[in-house]
Amino acid sequence: MELIIGKNYEDMSKSAADIIAELIRLKPNCVLGLATGGTPIGTYKELIRMHIEEGLDFSGVKTFNLDEYLGIGLDLQKPYTQDQSYARFMHEELFKHLNIKKENIHIPDGLAKDPQKFCSHYEEEIKKAGGIDLQLLGIGGDGHWAFNEPGSSLYSRTRVQPLSKQTLEDNFESFYKKSGIKKEDMPHFAITMGVGTILESRHALMIANGKKKAEIISKALEGSISWEVTATAIQLHPGKTTVILDKDAASKLTWTAKE
Ligand code: F6R
């Protein structure tokens, strides 16, 4: 595993964007796995800057997002605050600023009539695209990868998953509270790529920042592999693995303290 510790959030974001951009330049038709949440926003901003100022070309790039809430989907007629879909997030924070082709963007369909069938279809689409070259990952407060909540099998595939109490709490604090939505009206289920699906990516790139992620990062990287913290599966990733942190998120790692 390669561990990069940046000075701050901007540093972390820039290093992550540089790795993604290098792949796009080397393999213009690469397949990227993408994440939502607060952590990757800086990385996406930097990729957008590279596209505008340096001509980084996304026209051949294919993307697969990790997850989507069940019961909601992209509604561009609604203001941003009323459409909490991850599809909307990706559109606003990344895709609308790039020359990526619409047909190359894949996001789990939260409005699928038959969600279980959709999950198998999503797995097939990933296979058809030749697998994921690079999967960008954040980490949840409870150690989840995508929405693989504690108790998810480390062999799990794309499926419907109930959200944990902590994830509901985190999501409420970080987003829903501001948009005036009541806790009980938040989606309680999601479609998520499985841990097994993620582990098949050729390069796993996990990013985390801030003191509030320090404890869970130390568990994920240095703790025992367990379905209680699904991000510990990073220790099992057979391909290339890169973890990029800021100083705060790295502050509880014992390895780096020894250096
Ligand atoms: C979202 C996803 C989640 C987030 C995690 C951290 O697509 O995969 O696992 O990465 O919940 O979220 P933030 O970045 O908001 O702390």
pLDDT reading at 93 higher than 90: yes
- Within 10 A of 136 (CB to CB), how many other CB atoms are there? 26
Query: Considering the domain boundaries, does residue 119 fall inside one?
Result: yes
Query: Considering the domain boundaries, does residue 134 fall inside one?
Result: yes
Query: Considering the domain boundaries, does residue 259 fall inside one?
Result: no
pLDDT reading at 251 higher than 90: yes
- Residue range(s) defining the domain that contains residue 217: 2-246
Say which residue the tokens 């697969």 belong to.
64
Query: Considering the domain boundaries, does residue 256 fall inside one?
Result: no
Query: Considering the domain boundaries, does residue 68 fall inside one?
Result: yes
More confident position, 186 or 24: 24
Total domains in the chain come to 1
Query: For ligand 1, which residues put their CB under 6 angstroms from it?
Result: 35-39, 66-67, 138-140, 144-146, 174
Whichever domain contains 207, its CATH number is: 3.40.50.1360
Least confident of 5-9, 70-74, 82-86, 188-192: 82-86
| Two tokens, residue 141 | 């407060």
Ligand 1: which of 9, 12, 32, 39 to mutate, judged by most atoms within 8 Å of the beta carbon?
39
Mean pLDDT within 156-165: 95
Amino acid at the residue 134? L
Query: Considering the domain boundaries, does residue 251 fall inside one?
Result: no
pLDDT digits over 204-216, tens only?
A: 999 999 999 999 9
pLDDT digits over 15-64, tens only?
A: 999 999 999 999 999 999 999 999 999 999 999 999 999 999 999 999 99
pLDDT bracket for residue 258 (50, 70, 90): very low
Query: Considering the domain boundaries, does residue 107 fall inside one?
Result: yes
For residues 144 and 220, give the distance between their C-alpha atoms in angstroms, rounded to a whole number: 10
Please tell me what DSSP assigns to residue 163. P
pTM for the full model?
Answer: 0.95
Q: Which atom of ligand 1 is nearest to the CA of 86?
A: 7
For residues 218 and 252, give the distance between their C-alpha atoms in angstroms, rounded to a whole number: 6
pLDDT bracket for residue 82 (50, 70, 90): low
Query: Considering the domain boundaries, does residue 255 fall inside one?
Result: no
For residues 64 and 99, give the distance between their C-alpha atoms in angstroms, rounded to a whole number: 16
pLDDT digits over 113-154, tens only?
A: 999 999 999 999 999 999 999 999 999 999 999 999 999 999
Please tell me what DSSP assigns to residue 93. H
Residues 88 and 71 sit within 8 Å (Cβ to Cβ): no
